[in-house]
């Protein structure tokens, strides 16, 4: 019986010098009029002030905040959008399948770790 190799292809990954992975904790988007999935990735965090005004203490030090821009600084959150992705439906389906595989893998690893910990504590 002859052993025939299946056709294969090798992909080399080339990274642009500006490649810079970013942290995200949210995504917003939907489908474009052309039927492509559009995703805008953001990092959600508390707002930083544009400006703070402090009182000066009698000793000449920095005292309490008496004004801020924005005025509702403590009630303000920001979503910093650094990148976005647009893809066709076929690529979206492939991404969906890939994410499912990655999640299943990490869940299996986490389950095995938990079982190992539980087994170690029972001994």
Range of the domain at 105: 89-123
**Is the model's pLDDT at 3 over the cut of 80?**
no
For the chain, give the number of residues.
Answer: 123
**Does the structure show a pLDDT above 80 at 2?**
no
Identify whether 75 is part of a domain: no
User: How does the average pLDDT of the chain come out, rounded?
Assistant: 92
120 neighbors 112 (Cβ within 8 angstroms): no
Give the pLDDT score at 32: 97
CA distance 16 to 79: 26
The pLDDT tens digits of the residues spanning 77-112 come to 999 999 999 999 999 999 999 999 999 999 999 999
115 within some domain? yes
Tell whether 102 is covered by a domain.
Answer: yes
Q: Sheet holding 77-87: strands in order across?
A: 26-31, 37-46, 77-87
| Residue 11 pLDDT level (bands cut at 50, 70, 90) | confident
The answer to whether residue 123 is domain-embedded is yes
**Tokens at residue 50, please?**
């544009």
Q: How far is the C-alpha of 108 from the C-alpha of 28, rounded, in Å?
A: 29
60-75 pLDDT per residue, tens? 999 998 988 888 888 8
Residue 25's pLDDT is what?
96
Q: With beta carbons less than 8 A apart as the criterion, state whether 80 and 23 touch.
A: no
Tell me how many domains the chain contains: 1
Residue at 55 is within a domain = no
Does residue 17 belong to any structural domain of this protein? Answer: no
């Amino acid at each position: 019986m002859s052993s025939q190799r299946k056709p294969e292809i090798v992909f080399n990954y080339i990274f642009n010098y500006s490649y810079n992975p970013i942290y995200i904790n949210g995504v917003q988007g939907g489908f474009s009029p052309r039927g492509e999935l559009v995703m805008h990735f953001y990092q959600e965090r508390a707002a930083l002030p544009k400006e703070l005004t402090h009182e000066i203490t009698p000793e000449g030090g920095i005292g309490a905040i008496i004004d801020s821009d924005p005025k509702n600084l403590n009630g303000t959150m920001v979503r910093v959008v650094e990148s976005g992705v647009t893809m066709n439906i076929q690529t979206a389906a492939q991404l969906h399948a890939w994410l499912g595989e990655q999640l299943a893998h990490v869940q299996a690893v986490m389950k095995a770790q938990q079982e190992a910990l539980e087994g170690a504590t029972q001994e």
